[in-house]
Amino acid sequence: MIAHAPFEMARGPPTFTRAMADVGQVAWLPRVATAMAREMPEARLPVVGIEAMVSLGDLPSSEVDLHIGVAAEGPGIHAEAIFVERTVLVSRKGHPACTRRLSRQRLGQFQHVGVEMVPGRGARDPVAAAYARARTERIVAMTVPTFATPAAVAAATDLVATLPTSLLAAPEIRQELRAVHGPVPDHAVTVSWCRHERTHADPAMAHFRALVRREPLAATEVQRP
């Protein structure tokens, strides 16, 4: 149990609006909720998706206090790497092309479900970049704004999807899918804790950040000096 927070409660319970992709909402948020119930039961935690964060004005606005995901950039942004999230290419169980180890040529013939959280913003696709570096073709037949949707589509069709490993920890997702074995381009994302200067020194926010830091969010934590 932590010591009493060095912030005043007279104005009501503290509220921390947090932005994260759906994979974080499924894989990490339950642990944060448990810690909050134990150590900050008076706090409130509205959670929004990445598209909503962008539409609200991103971290510089007064609408979003925290973001866990790919590191944000810009004036007044503080980003702290917390863990490395690896990805895995998955198909449905019984996929006819996945009965044996694949060649690079056969891998390039798959049709993929891609994730584009904020269409039209010109964001770089890191999975596409990994395939380009490996000189492996990647045919994207469909794009969706969340990670849970590619899992559902891959489980029901012959399309494949690249998913974060933490999402596959959910039993209802893992039981429907299998990893594709072959020369799949290696891909990982460094997930960061991001906030704006306007909340950086706020005592209530610092208290909440300390709580979240103590909760292991993934097996591969970033090593600190």
**Residue 3's pLDDT band (cuts 50, 70, 90):** very low
Q: Write the pLDDT tens digit of every residue in 147-205.
A: 989 999 999 999 999 999 888 877 777 788 998 988 999 999 888 888 888 887 788 88
Q: Encode 72-141 in three state secondary structure.
A: CCCCCEEEEEEEEEEEEEEEECCCHHHCCCCCHHHHCCCEEEEECCCCCCCCCCHHHHHHHHCCCCCEEE
Query: Long-range CB contacts (< 8 A, 24+ apart) of 151-154?
Result: 151/90, 151/176, 151/177, 153/113, 154/90, 154/91, 154/92, 154/113
Domain ranges (residues) in the chain: 18-83+189-213, 85-187
Please tell me the predicted confidence (pLDDT) of residue 120.
65
Please tell me the predicted confidence (pLDDT) of residue 123.
63
Q: Write the pLDDT tens digit of every residue in 61-88.
A: 888 888 888 888 888 898 888 888 899 9
Please tell me the predicted confidence (pLDDT) of residue 50.
86
**Residue 217's pLDDT band (cuts 50, 70, 90):** low
Q: Write the pLDDT tens digit of every residue in 34-68.
A: 888 888 888 899 999 888 888 888 888 888 888 88
Statement: 85-187 belongs to CATH 3.40.120.10: no
Please tell me the predicted confidence (pLDDT) of residue 225.
35
Q: Tell me the CATH number for domain 18-83+189-213.
A: 3.40.190.10
Fold: same for 18-83+189-213 and 85-187: yes
Please tell me the predicted confidence (pLDDT) of residue 166.
86
Please tell me the predicted confidence (pLDDT) of residue 224.
39
